[in-house]
Structure 1
Amino acid sequence: MNEAEPVIRFTDVSVTFTATRALDGVDFRLFPGEVHSLMGENGAGKSTLIKALTGVQPIHGGTIEMDGRPVSFSTPSAAQRAGISTVYQEVNLLPNLSVTENVMLGREPRTRIGGIDWRAAHERTRGLLATMRLDIDPRSMLADHSPAIQQLVAIARAIYVEARVLVLDEPTSSLDNDEVTELFRIIAGLKESGVAILFISHFLDQVYEISDRITVLRDGRLVGEYLTPDLLRIDLVQKMVGKDLPALATIRAHTSNSDVEGGLSDEEPLINAIGLGRRGAIEAFDLRVYEGEVVGIAGLLGSGRTELARLLSGIDRADGGELLIDGRAERLTNPRKAMQNRIAYASENRRTEGIIGDLSVRDNIALALQADMGWFRRIPRRRQDELAASYIQAMNIRPADPDALMGTLSGGNQQKVLLARWLAIAPRLLVLDEPTRGIDVGAKAEIQTLVSDLADNGLSVVFISAELEEVLRISHRIAILREKRKVADLENHDLTVARLLTIIAENSSDGDDD
């Protein structure tokens, strides 16, 4: 590992928003030919550091050097011209354009008369995708591909511009295990060619697999820089949160003491889906959810997890089967009908289907309640203030400012605000699709504990997560999906990740206990 000269060096860098110091005298080094992971809780300053590096956010103190020379990027374009490229968690491409147009945008090969040489552009894109083992038509529209493919196309664009510094912000959040393996192969090749890679992820296994070096931030300050082999995982977590985190270890025992006992109660289930399905989305499935029960949904990317959630919450309309609520047949033709039955859905795409970034925390919390009451019956400002203050305190939302714009909050705090929004309408069933994706260990523990406490107080929860350990930790019962079909429904007694993986991978539907 080259220690001679970092390609990027931050010295005593500070960034201030009004009265808040997002970065407070931070030092940071990024060397060529290494993968450097930036770790910290949501709100620790990771996003601000990235924005300062990539020309999105000016710094208010300290210096940034590239190759030993001070630099100041006033725009992202200036940073890109200097060789700094970024791939964000939320794919920042143009879905209405082709794959080639997205990869080549602004750098298209030209004909002799100055027009775009589309044949050459498609061939270059095809060759680039081939090096990434992506067999897709470069002429196809980006919108026609899955989020995972779109993420890989974003990385292909970054490779095409021959970046010297590549920032990968949660690049694996939409990828399955095989795609992660392929991405890591690509990263290894870039590292061999001398590219400096800044890797941000909340998956600790991935951080330890791919990283050479780790920098930890907390509350906008530098905790330390470490060689990955020298930093134990438990030490990393404690450095990130500033204390031990017993919460993650105790949630499982907390939920397992429920009276529901895996949903085998003699009582009428709150939700009883019988043969519910939608052609092309998910095959007909049965699913019961009892009062105070957390039902986990496990399966690989594309297995039908989100499609199931959208049927249960009226986002999509079922074309077969029936849904019983308290034993009564109900047709959830739209989300408003679901809300009338006190069913709330939190989408996995919180940026596009959840938060309204230009509204305040107060407005975002009150939004569902206002919609439930009707737009002609405005919630009094005093009531909105009470709601916001109550949930900000109860859910430890930071900053504790109801007037803060939602778009300025970290991912974990945005997720807490979304949960507060739905809790404000007093739901009976909360359908949570990847509620902890892309958030830090501390915020994840808080949300898992909150879900557990809500279930203890009678709220029913459908909990979807790609992390099988999380599903096991928090659920009373687990429904397993494979290839758009429910293949098992198991009480969470002595289940293991290995057992779940076996069921997900096997070719028969043995073990369907519903």
Structure 2
Amino acid sequence: MTLASRIDRVLVGGGADDVLFKTYPTFALNKVTLAGTKGRVNVLDNVEFACYAGHSYALLLSDDADSGLTADVKRRALMGVMTGLVQPTSGSVMNKSANIAELEPVELRGHRLGIVPQQHALQPYLDAEHNVLYAMEASNRNFLKPKPVIARELLAKVGFSEATTGVAVGKLPEVQQRLVAIARAISTEAEVLILDEPTRGLNDDDTVTVFAALAKLAHSGDPKHCVIVLTASREIADAADTLFEV
């Protein structure tokens, strides 16, 4: 069975036809343009897509021979504007009815968006539980249950299978580190989960493990999440419910 077929089996459900269209998408880019430096070609040009909770999405990034833009340049630009770290030249990035440019960083990244970057997604010298607690503390939010209890529940939810305490995550298998990063990203009750190449460097078995966790977050539970994966891999992108090419 191909990798794409294996991923498809864990990402079933939540197809585009099942979207219950509401007034506002959970997360959307509305005609977003990001100008290039010193008059160069736009890095992002009128990018537009809408995403909804309960579904998984892939943004497939590719090199553009005509403009000279690489997939990596586009990826970094998208991560910047989608997470509020970079303001678009024109257009808007919306979380439901809110323009993220108008939100305080602690509100945006401490509650509304769960972000899994390629680098610095974890504190490698902390164990799994304390990595999740670190994110919860940084969010400055109140929680109904003791934070350590929530941290362990979130690690179980994403399929983390190692000891939750006593072992620095930097010493764990790479796939388990990715699962901790996902648990951290949802620990502040963010409905939108944005992941930058979450399976890069993993073998096929570990890739399926990560996508099984993402499928569970997107298609089940309360709340259901809006899962958005940025990738340059067609095979990975094809496994999502909906694919947008950039």
Which bracket does the TM-score occupy, shorter chain normalised? 0.7 to 0.9
State the alpha-carbon separation in 2 of the partners of residues 480 and 332 from structure 1.
27
1:279 aligns with 2:35: yes
Choose from 51, 72, 76 the match for 1:289: 51
* Alpha-carbon shift at residue 247 of structure 1 (Å): 9.3
Secondary structure of 2:72's match?
coil
State the alpha-carbon separation in 1 of the partners of residues 74 and 104 from structure 2.
19
Give the conservation status (yes or no) of the 8 Å contact 2:124–2:168.
yes
* Alpha-carbon shift at residue 317 of structure 1 (Å): 2.5
* AA in 1 matched with 2:74: G
Shift in alpha-carbon separation, 1:414–1:340, aligned structure 2, 3 A? closer
Shift in alpha-carbon separation, 1:357–1:386, aligned structure 2, 3 A? same
Q: Which residue of 2 aligns with 1:73?
A: none
1:270 aligns with 2:26: yes
Q: Which residue of 1 aligns with 2:17?
A: 261
Choose from 472, 476, 480 the match for 2:245: 480
State the alpha-carbon separation in 1 of the partners of residues 53 and 7 from structure 2.
19
* Alpha-carbon shift at residue 426 of structure 1 (Å): 1.6
Give the conservation status (yes or no) of the 8 Å contact 1:362–1:403.
no
1:461 aligns with 2:227: yes
State the alpha-carbon separation in 2 of the partners of residues 413 and 431 from structure 1.
18
Q: Which residue of 2 aligns with 1:391?
A: 154
Secondary structure of 2:130's match?
helix
Q: How does 1:7-22 map to 2 (within 5 A)?
A: none
Shift in alpha-carbon separation, 1:333–1:319, aligned structure 2, 3 A? farther
State the alpha-carbon separation in 2 of the partners of residues 444 and 254 from structure 1.
11
1:357 aligns with 2:124: yes
1:314 aligns with 2:79: no
Higher relative contact order (CA 8 A, sep 6+): 2
1:302 aligns with 2:72: yes
1:326 aligns with 2:96: yes
Give the conservation status (yes or no) of the 8 Å contact 2:56–2:227.
yes
Gaps spanning 5+ residues in structure 1: where?
Answer: 1-233, 235-245, 482-514
* Alpha-carbon shift at residue 364 of structure 1 (Å): 0.8
TM-score of the aligned structures, taking structure 2 as reference length: 0.79
Give the conservation status (yes or no) of the 8 Å contact 2:57–2:241.
yes
TM-score of the aligned structures, taking structure 1 as reference length: 0.40
Shift in alpha-carbon separation, 1:266–1:438, aligned structure 2, 3 A? same
Give the conservation status (yes or no) of the 8 Å contact 2:13–2:219.
no
State the alpha-carbon separation in 2 of the partners of residues 418 and 287 from structure 1.
26
For each residue in 1:19-60, what CA deviation from the matched residue of structure 2 results, as whole angstroms up to 9, or x when unmatched? xxxxxxxxxxxxxxxxxxxxxxxxxxxxxxxxxxxxxxxxxx
Give the conservation status (yes or no) of the 8 Å contact 2:132–2:184.
yes
* Alpha-carbon shift at residue 443 of structure 1 (Å): 2.2
* AA in 1 matched with 2:227: V
State the alpha-carbon separation in 2 of the partners of residues 253 and 415 from structure 1.
20
State the alpha-carbon separation in 1 of the partners of residues 103 and 200 from structure 2.
28
Q: How does 1:18-33 map to 2 (within 5 A)?
A: none
Q: Which residue of 1 aligns with 2:137?
A: 370
Q: Which residue of 2 aligns with 1:148?
A: none
State the alpha-carbon separation in 1 of the partners of residues 160 and 114 from structure 2.
20
* Alpha-carbon shift at residue 356 of structure 1 (Å): 1.4
State the alpha-carbon separation in 1 of the partners of residues 176 and 146 from structure 2.
22
State the alpha-carbon separation in 1 of the partners of residues 26 and 159 from structure 2.
30
State the alpha-carbon separation in 2 of the partners of residues 328 and 370 from structure 1.
24
Q: Which residue of 1 aligns with 2:237?
A: 471
* Alpha-carbon shift at residue 432 of structure 1 (Å): 0.6
* Alpha-carbon shift at residue 291 of structure 1 (Å): 2.1
For each residue in 1:384-432, what CA deviation from the matched residue of structure 2 results, as whole angstroms up to 9, or x when unmatched? 4323432343334343241211221121111110101112112111001
For each residue in 1:241-290, what CA deviation from the matched residue of structure 2 results, as whole angstroms up to 9, or x when unmatched? xxxxx996354256453254286836531123212233224333222112
Q: Which residue of 1 aligns with 2:187?
A: 424
State the alpha-carbon separation in 2 of the partners of residues 327 and 384 from structure 1.
30
State the alpha-carbon separation in 1 of the partners of residues 243 and 47 from structure 2.
14
Q: How does 1:36-55 map to 2 (within 5 A)?
A: none
* AA in 2 matched with 1:477: T
* Alpha-carbon shift at residue 467 of structure 1 (Å): 2.0
